[in-house]
Amino acid sequence: MIRPRVLIPLLLVGVALLAQPVYAHGFGERYDLPVPLGYYVVGAGVAVALSFVVVGLFVRAGSGASDYPRYNLLKHGPARAILTSPLLIVPIKLASLFLLGLLIFAGFFGDTDPSDNLAPTFIWIIWWVGMGFFVALVGNLWALVNPWAALYEGAEWLYRRFSPDGSLSLNERYPEGWGMWPAAVTFFCFAWVENVYSENDLPARISVMVVAYSLLTLGGMVYFGKHTWLRNCEGFSVVFGFLSRFSPIEVRTVSPEVCADCDDGCLDEDGRCIDCYQCFEASAVEPWTDEDEPARPPASPQDGPPRELSIRPYAVSLARPERVDSSMLAVVILLLATVTFDGFSATSAWVHVQNFAADVSPGLNNPILNSVTIANSLGLLLFPFVFYAVYLAFSHLMARMVRNTMPAEALARVFVYSLIPIALAYNIAHFLPLLLVSGQRIIPLASDPFGWGWDLFGTALYNINIGVLGARTVWFLSVAVIVVGHMVAVYLAHRIAMRTFDERRMAIASQYPMLLLMVLYTMVSLWIIGQPIVE
């Protein structure tokens, strides 16, 4: 291991030697060219034009319905038996737990070079980017494979063997005003590590952070109860949960008795319990099931299975009538702001800010606190507030347009989910090349996870193919994804407006400020991907 006396001078020399400011930006080298101006202009134009088309179509058609078509995969006995079978679920959870252990081991005992160690590539690219994409585009896989939940469930199962009536958790009452604020804090800490901390690619540091966070999460679950902690305080469960509202798979519980027991008050304003994993787990006991019986459509919800695992259209779950409190608003704003900051901090505009900070703050030179990390920390802290201020300003405009029948803060909360597709689209546009290029490193790393010269699967010498996506393909996809995200956002905002306001005229009027905000947000996203990336 490198002794401090050698490391610190090397680092000092290194930081001083670098011609341009260095900063941490997740992990993984990028080779993409910035999107040329032509693409950017055409994309922006199409986004704006299609927005007006959406408005125009909705003026005539209009749809205030909050429910949506869906297909329940658990309707038929055989499918239900397979999908809910412990034989499927328990091995998946064990595998996830094994992976967590493997990563921690790799971080502490594997090669110290980030490129030759499984932990940085898996965590920053496969998990943070890959899982983020998966939960948004397919379904909330994280709810199933969360290793900390799996660990807790295993511990609880063991505990119940000795004390059948007891509960592993202390089940302390979760304080009233806390809401999702703890999740906002944990997610902000993660965003800081991702965007600011310059040693976030060092395997040993990663393992320390993973162990610390595991202890915090397990302790929290024991103290407050598994679902209460995961739903309110575990940053990743919360953020992946928000992203998965876009996805086409949901779980639903149609059993009022079960939902009455739920800690969360999980019912939305239409009385539906959607994507509440506590109720879904609790409703697993089905006394009436007869798996040999042929499937029949139930006469009423109470006659049917109390739980559903359904396929639904994309994005519609973001427009459901739900109570959004200020802590939830904060987490969503934080998510949007950090995604945008991630991209913005790689632009030359931000480098000017960093250079300014370097000029006014001499001297400090350690890996956690130096002029670059201070500038980035301040930026990361400021961005959510700026985002919130801008969003609130537009909410005030919306309130004005509806003649103050609803206050601006309430409007802000009602509409905030409709902005998620724009952030998601930017995320996909920005990270897909990274996932497909640098993500290929997982192939050699799977054979040699610790950098010890192994070759478990014969792929240790695999060379990543940088040319897997041509430059033009990347440009087109980036702009197309952002345009589609924008359109979905505009569509969602309209759906929300239609169900929020009784008068159709008012609903349309409320959308003009929202439309302007979304166009601006999309322009910022397009501008960022058009900037040359500063290393």
Partner 1 sequence: MNARRALLGLLVMALGTMAIFAAACGGGGEPEQRSFDLKLADNVLQPDRIVVNHEDTVTLEIEAHQAGELHLHGYDITADVEASQVHEMEFVASLEGRFIMTLHPEFASLFQSGILEIGESFTYTIPDTMMGTHIPYHSHLQSELTGSVMVSREDGQEGTIEVRITDEGMHPHMVSAAPGATVRWTNESSALQTVHAGSPAEHGHGPEDTGPGDEIQIGVLEVHPR
Interface positions with partner 1 (CB under 8 A): 2-3, 5-7, 9-20, 22, 29-34, 38-39, 42-43, 46, 49-50, 53-54, 57-58, 60-61, 63, 112-113, 466-467, 470-472, 475-476, 479-480, 483-484, 487, 491, 532-533, 535
Query: What span, in angstroms and rounded, lies between the C-alpha atoms of 300 and 393?
Result: 45
CB nearer to partner 1: pick between 47 and 150: 47
Q: Using alpha carbons only, give the angle 360, 363, 365 rounded to the nearest 5 degrees.
A: 115
CB nearer to partner 1: pick between 34 and 77: 34
Residue from 335, 330, 430, 468 nearest 129 by CA: 430
- Cα–Cα distances in Å, from 182 out to 168, 197, 252, 382, 386? 22, 21, 26, 19, 21
Distance of closest approach, residue 205 Cβ to partner 1, in angstroms: 13
Helix (H) or strand (E) holding 253: strand 249-253
Distance of closest approach, residue 191 Cβ to partner 1, in angstroms: 22
Distance of closest approach, residue 23 Cβ to partner 1, in angstroms: 12
CB nearer to partner 1: pick between 42 and 83: 42
Query: What span, in angstroms and rounded, lies between the C-alpha atoms of 362 and 510?
Result: 49
Judged by DSSP in three states, 524 sits in helix
CB nearer to partner 1: pick between 261 and 535: 535
Between the CA atoms of 310, 316, 322 and 325, what dihedral angle is there, to the nearest 10 degrees? 110
Are 227 and 233 in contact, with CB atoms under 8 Å apart?
A: no
Query: What span, in angstroms and rounded, lies between the C-alpha atoms of 153 and 157?
Result: 6
Number of helices (H), then strands (E), in the chain:
22, 4
CB nearer to partner 1: pick between 64 and 304: 64
Distance of closest approach, residue 242 Cβ to partner 1, in angstroms: 24
Residue type at 248? Answer: P
Distance of closest approach, residue 485 Cβ to partner 1, in angstroms: 12
Between the CA atoms of 480, 481, 484 and 489, what dihedral angle is there, to the nearest 10 degrees? -140
CB nearer to partner 1: pick between 271 and 467: 467
CB nearer to partner 1: pick between 9 and 256: 9
Maximum Cα interatomic distance, the chain, rounded to a whole number of Å: 76
Distance of closest approach, residue 271 Cβ to partner 1, in angstroms: 25
Are 492 and 66 in contact, with CB atoms under 8 Å apart?
A: no
464 CA to centre of own chain: 27
CB nearer to partner 1: pick between 7 and 212: 7
Distance of closest approach, residue 27 Cβ to partner 1, in angstroms: 13
- Cα–Cα distances in Å, from 473 out to 30, 476, 479? 16, 5, 10
CB nearer to partner 1: pick between 394 and 491: 491
Half-sphere exposure of 348 (CA within 13 A, CB side): 4
Between the CA atoms of 334, 338, 341 and 342, what dihedral angle is there, to the nearest 10 degrees? 180
Distance of closest approach, residue 31 Cβ to partner 1, in angstroms: 4
Distance of closest approach, residue 62 Cβ to partner 1, in angstroms: 8
Distance of closest approach, residue 493 Cβ to partner 1, in angstroms: 14
Helix (H) or strand (E) holding 72: strand 71-72
CB nearer to partner 1: pick between 253 and 371: 371
